[in-house]
Structure 1
Amino acid sequence: MKQIYKLCILSLLINACTSINPEGNCSPKDKKNAELNVQLGIEYMRRGRNNIALQRLKKSLNFCPSFAKGHNAIAVLYERVAETKKAEFHYQQALKYEPENPDINSNYGQFLCRLNKWKEAEKHFLKAVSDPVYNLPEVPYTNAGICALHNQEIDKAEQYLRKALQNNVKFPRALYQMAVLKYKQNHYPQANDYLLRYLRVAKHTPQTLWLGIRIEKALNNRDKEASYILLLRKNFPDSAEIQMLNQKNYH
């Protein structure tokens, strides 16, 4: 699931190209250079070359210190490498310059959720979806659902995940999380339905295979359970899910 999260965050960074507020007193040339370096930084992040990405993102902010997109991108990078204080600073700087930006609010909400600040995170998720022209409301709704689920607010988690799917019926992360939620509720046929819907639009991950194993075990479908186990062993032999399988840790 971490990999899915990373890809989603990077897509948000790319989508957040339009500035809501002007970048302070930065000249058009400086803003152009700042944008170029952010795009390069994001591409290096995609490739896992975080050191070079950091250099580019710092260079972007040198060109335009009030460039919200640059602060957002570098905050995501610092979060990725567990530099929590630096990530917090740059998220706040990004919101200082573009407080209404839905992508920044969604990213910051997920950051706060990881710090176990659910109520504060929820405010930013709701801020993100309050923008009537935002074209990706399923992302903050899904993030809110995941955060609520982690905080044992099951009803609220389902509410947010359903809103995500109302906005995008094929959104993979929301489908997967609904499958997780239904499994936690012991609603195994529904969990299986959501997992199958996920597989119509996305590929298996170690997490989806592990969930499938547990669902089929609960449904007493031994052949399907064995099929999922085979796929997990074949495609993800070094995953944490293999360790849980070997330890028979089905919780």
Structure 2
Amino acid sequence: MKHYPFNKALLVVSLLVLSACSSQPTTNDIAENTIGEKYKANEKAEIYLQLGVQYMQRGQRGDYDIALERLKKALSIDPNYPDAHNAIAVLYERIGQTEFAREHYERAVALNPRDSDAQNNYGQFLCKQNRWAEADAAFMKSLENPVYRTPEIPYINAALCATRSQNFDKSEAYLRKTLEINKNFPLALYQLANLYYDKKQFANARDYLKRYASVAKHTPQTLWLGVRIERMLHDKDSEASYAMLLRSEFPESEQTQLLNQSERQ
């Protein structure tokens, strides 16, 4: 049985994350993440864009409606503002308006094909539509920018997309590229552990899961994977340790139910 990532959503990069604690670029940093000059947006359009993204990030009841209104206003002021097209595409995708999302993603990358974040977001959108080859091309396009700050994001997304399309060799290659850039990227470590478990390379799976545990907190999915790895390696003490943690930390989880079922068989 092939296993999907514990966070099934691909990673969307918002160009306009306004939180000071975020590791993603802010509007002031866009020029550093693109080749060539930053698009000179209308000042009012940029203000409406920032307001729209703020409401998107809050995610409370009614916030998406306000965000959509603000982003539409930004585009009414400046119809060729690529960052606004990217942001409204992300919003339309979140609220399930797929066709509008597609139109604005396509507009964003057409207006600024060298925008790595927009290409990444478009790639994850295409992957969800099972348009595997086009998604992969968008992820690779995002990596053409030599000053892109977070190339591990398109690589991990390309890996997750390859997994969804059951191209596991490509997924492994992209996961390794992710770890070359960021050796402690938790999702990549988990995915490789999962992949090696599926390949019956249990010692390798154990190693990557241990690396995961050294940099991130366990989830029900990682603990259940640990149980299964140690079971296949006939390490009863380690299996019991994972099982105890799973039951104590996540007693109501689906994975705890699977554990209980497996022990009754």
Is residue 34 of structure 1 aligned with residue 66 of structure 2? no
Match of 2:89? 75
Question: Structure 1 counterpart of 2:42, which letter?
Answer: S
Question: What aligned pairs does 1:104-123 form with structure 2 within 5 A after superposition?
Answer: 104-123=118-137
Question: Structure 2 counterpart of 1:22, which letter?
Answer: Y
Is residue 59 of structure 1 aligned with residue 87 of structure 2? no
* Aligned residues of 1:69 and 1:94 also touching (Cα < 8 A): yes
Distance 1:75 1:103 in 2: 12
* Aligned residues of 1:13 and 1:42 also touching (Cα < 8 A): no
SS at match of 1:9: coil
Is residue 44 of structure 1 aligned with residue 55 of structure 2? no
Answer 1 or 2: higher relative contact order, Cα 8 Å, separation at least 6: 2
Unaligned 5+ runs, structure 1:
none
Residue 217 and residue 201 in structure 1: after superposition, are their counterparts in 2 closer, same or farther (change >3 A)?
same
Give the C-alpha shift of residue 11 in structure 1.
Answer: 6.4
Of 39, 52, 67, the residue aligned with 1:22 is 39
Question: What TM-score comes out, normalization by structure 2 length?
Answer: 0.80
Q: Identity, % of aligned pairs? A: 43
Match of 1:129? 143
1:69-113 deviation line (CA, Å, top 9, x unaligned): 333333333333433223222322322332221112112212222
Unaligned 5+ runs, structure 2:
18-23
* Aligned residues of 1:54 and 1:77 also touching (Cα < 8 A): no
Is residue 193 of structure 1 aligned with residue 196 of structure 2? no
Superposition RMSD in Å:
2.6
* Aligned residues of 1:34 and 1:60 also touching (Cα < 8 A): yes
Q: Which moved more, 1:161-170 or 1:219-228?
A: 219-228
Match of 1:216? 230
SS at match of 2:183: coil
Question: Structure 1 counterpart of 2:73, which letter?
Answer: N
How many residue pairs get matched?
A: 242
Distance 2:222 2:157 in 1: 18
* Aligned residues of 1:74 and 1:90 also touching (Cα < 8 A): yes
Is residue 167 of structure 1 aligned with residue 184 of structure 2? no
Residue 148 and residue 4 in structure 1: after superposition, are their counterparts in 2 closer, same or farther (change >3 A)?
closer
Distance 1:78 1:176 in 2: 30
